[in-house]
């Protein structure tokens, strides 16, 4: 009896297998993509890297993704290097094959990207900048397709979850999780599937030559993702107007240790805007705490770290940078 897996039926009788056949074979890091191929009208936020033209920026996902847009907002004329996994993007920064990575760290609806906290801690990298990207989801199909023809919708699980109301209003459309929002558009165009649609950004539709059937289908318009620009520690340039710091620390496993550490920050008048805990691998019930703090000047970050040290078994600065502000209002 052969141990090989049976060949999936990818005939027209089983069109979903065409999609999931591709999903079983993750794409590999592809050739760099010049960022100007993403149409400027799809960008949001303020570019803060105008002096860094041509920087190679790794992203997790395909060109045309939200990470692609964020990278362009962070660095003017970036050269995008798509990676299959977030770990690949961090590794590319660490080994010097790219200058930086643009990574999502938190969504206003879905919460934090836990894996990226772990990767920030385990690599010799730091955050240099952040940006906020307004997330607008669109129902996308190949040209000539009508919305009544669609019976399958593909996208990243988070994007599908953020469009539940639209999908509930269109019960004919079955939703299927795919590895990437932009990747679902790429696959859609390659297959020329008139009965399938993707949920992704306007930029992805433009990039792959697809058509937006319905725009802004997300349940909640107050949908933003915060992205970090991550670079090798020795190459980070601290913004002299930095007013925010991210820190990872571990406290001794004794009563009151976390409260004592946080009290030090409070006593300095530092506003804690976020706290996240992650388990220490190999040490059950021990945790690393990640905090974001507003500071008045970059040197306040040094004071905060020094204040934490007496109460902590480990303290690592993850970056000092200028806090990103919302630059566009959600559509009514």
**Which positions are annotated as active-site residues?**
225, 227
Q: How far apart are CA 198 and CA 186, in angstroms?
A: 9
The pairing of beta strand 152-155 with beta strand 196-200: parallel
Provide the β-strand partners of residue 153.
Answer: 175, 197
Own/partner long-range contacts of 263-272 (Cβ < 8 Å, ≥24 apart): 264/304, 264/307, 264/308, 264/311, 265/291, 265/293, 265/304, 265/307, 265/308, 267/307, 268/300, 268/303, 268/304, 268/307, 270/294, 270/295, 270/300, 270/304
Provide the β-strand partners of residue 212.
Answer: 140
Provide the β-strand partners of residue 79.
Answer: 34, 56
């Amino acid at each position: 009896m052969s141990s090989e897996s049976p060949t999936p039926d990818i005939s027209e009788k089983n069109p979903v297998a065409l999609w999931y056949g591709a999903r079983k074979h993750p794409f590999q890091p592809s050739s760099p993509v010049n960022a100007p191929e993403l149409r400027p009208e799809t960008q949001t936020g303020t570019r803060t890297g105008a002096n860094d033209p041509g920087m190679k920026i790794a992203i997790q996902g395909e060109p045309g993704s939200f990470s692609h847009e964020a990278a362009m907002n962070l660095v003017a004329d970036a050269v995008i290097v798509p990676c299959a996994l977030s770990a690949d993007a961090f590794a590319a920064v660490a080994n010097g094959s790219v200058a930086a990575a643009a990574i999502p760290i938190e969504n206003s609806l879905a919460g934090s990207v836990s894996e990226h906290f772990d990767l920030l801690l385990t690599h010799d990298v730091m955050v240099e900048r952040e940006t906020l990207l307004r997330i607008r989801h669109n129902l996308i199909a190949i040209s000539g397709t009508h919305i009544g023809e669609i019976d399958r919708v593909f996208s990243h699980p988070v994007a599908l979850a953020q469009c539940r109301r639209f999908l509930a209003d269109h019960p004919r459309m079955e939703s299927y999780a795919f590895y990437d929002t932009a990747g679902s558009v790429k696959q859609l165009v390659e297959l020329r599937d008139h009965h399938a649609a993707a949920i992704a950004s306007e930029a992805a539709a433009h990039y792959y030559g697809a058509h937006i059937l319905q725009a802004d289908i997300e349940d909640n318009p107050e949908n933003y993702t915060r992205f970090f620009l991550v670079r090798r520690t020795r190459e980070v340039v601290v913004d002299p107007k930095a007013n925010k710091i991210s820190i990872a620390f571990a406290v001794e496993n004794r009563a009151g240790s976390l409260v004592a550490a946080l009290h030090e920050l409070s006593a300095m008048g530092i506003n804690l805007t976020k706290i996240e805990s992650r388990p220490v691998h190999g040490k059950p019930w021990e945790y690393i705490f990640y905090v974001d703090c507003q500071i008045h000047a970059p040197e306040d970050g040094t004071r905060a770290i020094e204040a934490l040290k007496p109460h902590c078994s480990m303290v690592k600065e993850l970056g000092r940078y200028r806090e990103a502000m919302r630059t566009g209002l959600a559509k009514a």
